[in-house]
A and B are shown apart, each in its own frame.
Chain A
Amino acid sequence: MRRILAGAIIAACAVSAGAPASAKESESYIAFAEGKYLTALGLAEKEAEAGSKEAYTLMGEIYAEGLGVAQDYAKAADAYAKGADLGDPNAQFSLGRLVAEGRGVRKDPEIAGDLFEHAAKAGNAAAQYNLALLYLHGSGRLADEIKAAEWMKKAAESGNPQAQYDLGAFYQFGRGVPIDKVKAAEWAGKAAQAGLAAAQVEYAVMLFNGHGVDKDEKRGAQLFRLAAEQGNPVAQNRLARLYANGVVYDVDLVQAAKWHLLARDAGVSDFTLDIMLSKLSDEQRVEAERAVDAWESGRLTE
């Protein structure tokens, strides 16, 4: 199962710049933070004319997201380009995304790579992460796992959970770095701590097996539960197995069935748990299905 997860990690291409209004105290950003997008756009245009690079970036954000105005990637790219030319890393990153995906501008992985690189060198974690992926996939950059790992490490150190998780996988499988199970566990643990469900599962498995980290089944079980509550079906089946086998928790077949049914609804089967399920009494089965309904409606009201 761990091999599969890692395959998915490396393919993952999460691109998130985070909130644009990163505590810029200009009037346009304040209006933006208050949700007054049209006011923010008007103010940003004035500030931009006066030479504010961040104001261009904000205009780009408003057009890219279609906040209070019609979504317009071409206008967004134009505004980002001005902010990028003036040296705003957020604008460079956001423009890089549009260029990488060919939205509002012609798709060009190489230019996207240049833009990510500028922003990455200025310390933008999302850009560092995306640059690492370009090196990993050989898109716009010659494939280079060592460089991919270097940028991934910078993004991870900047606190990007997806990068922490991926860097953990790099260490686990020796992609661009020597295999190092301890570092693999360390970074997976950080991403798990940040709440990334896939990392919680991965790290929990390490805790159960004592791979790269001291064995701690109780902590592992907690992480499976956190990820299961987030709706991760692999974690739901793992949690179900703990209840079915009486590991960490007392045997509780209804709880086991509840979590397994949820995983199965999400399309992940587990033959051993299916067998367990078929042995339940009608009463247990009904109780488990009620628990599933309660869990699902609990999520809807969140």
Chain B
Amino acid sequence: MACVLLCDNGEATEEVPVDRLIDLVQGSGVACLLENRIEQTERLGADGVHIAANRDLYAQARRLLGESANIGVGCGLDRHEAMQLAEAGTDYVAFGSETPNIEPPNIDGIDQCAELIAWWSEIFVVPCVAWNIDNPAQAERLAELGADFVAPSRLIWQDENAATIIAEIDSAIGRVRSSA
């Protein structure tokens, strides 16, 4: 696993548990990003932040966190925003529906995402992430099309076999990499 994203539930959070979580993740040798909380990322020493596709927000995050931070943007299915933000210097762009749904999988959304990823990976150097993918078969398909990373959604934790599914997603991506 490349990275763990701590999701933002929109409410004010106590910092101490977040700080401990970051330490735990980093302690196991994995990068830890926060969603949306730019100041907290800086204060608590997370590796970076995942934000919405907005150039002002990105500029603000980069200013505060510096060049070494990993700043990624969620672009939904918006090509234009993705291009502009990649040009501005984001470390990755994420494509996919912003509202996760496992059951039933949002196949329309995933098909559109697949098309975007195939197009992006042909043209751009900035890595792209397949966003909110909780299904190993879909992960494999998107990795084949050129997704550099696959991010499962927060809903994956509702499944009691979350760790197994994540491991399956990981090995699905691994199969694509090793056959490439």
Contacts and interface: CB of A to CB of B under 8 A. Distances in A.
Interface string A227-269: 0000000100000000000000000000000000000000111
Interface string B85-102: 000000110000000000
B70 A271 contact: yes
B49 to A, nearest CB: 12
Interface in B121-174: 125-127, 148-149
Interface stretch (B9-17, B27-35, B76-84): B27-35
A3 B127 CA distance: 31
Between A234, A270, A278, A279, the greatest number of chain B beta carbons within 10 A of the residue's beta carbon is seen for A278
Interface in A1-25: 1, 3-4, 7
Nearest to A274: B2
User: Which range holds the interface residue count of chain B?
Assistant: 20 to 34
A300 interface: no
Between A7, A268, A271, A272, the greatest number of chain B beta carbons within 10 A of the residue's beta carbon is seen for A271
Given A275-B127, A279-B125, A268 B3 contact: no
B179 interface: no
B3 A271 contact: yes
A267 B174 CA distance: 13
Contacts of A278: 127, 148-149
B27 A269 contact: no
A83 to B, nearest CB: 43
A275 B29 contact: no
B127 A269 contact: no
Given A267-B29, A269-B31, A270-B31, A275 B1 contact: no
B29 A271 contact: no
A233 to B, nearest CB: 8
Contact of B1 (A7, A269, A272): A269
A271 B148 contact: no
Contacts of A270: 31
A278 B176 CA distance: 14
Contacts of B92: 275
Contacts of B30: 269, 271
A279 B124 CA distance: 9
Interface string B1-44: 11100000000000000000001001101110100000000000
17 contacts: A1-B26, A4-B26, A4-B27, A4-B29, A269-B2, A269-B30, A271-B2, A271-B30, A271-B33, A271-B48, A271-B70, A274-B148, A274-B149, A278-B148, A279-B125, A279-B126, A279-B127
Interface of A: 1, 3-4, 7, 234, 267-272, 274-275, 278-279
Given A269-B2, A279-B126, 4 more contacts: A271-B2, A272-B70, A274-B2, A279-B125
Interface of B: 1-3, 23, 26-27, 29-31, 33, 47-48, 68, 70, 91-92, 125-127, 148-149
The 7 tightest CB contacts between A and B, nearest first, are A271-B31, A278-B148, A278-B127, A271-B3, A274-B2, A268-B29, A279-B125
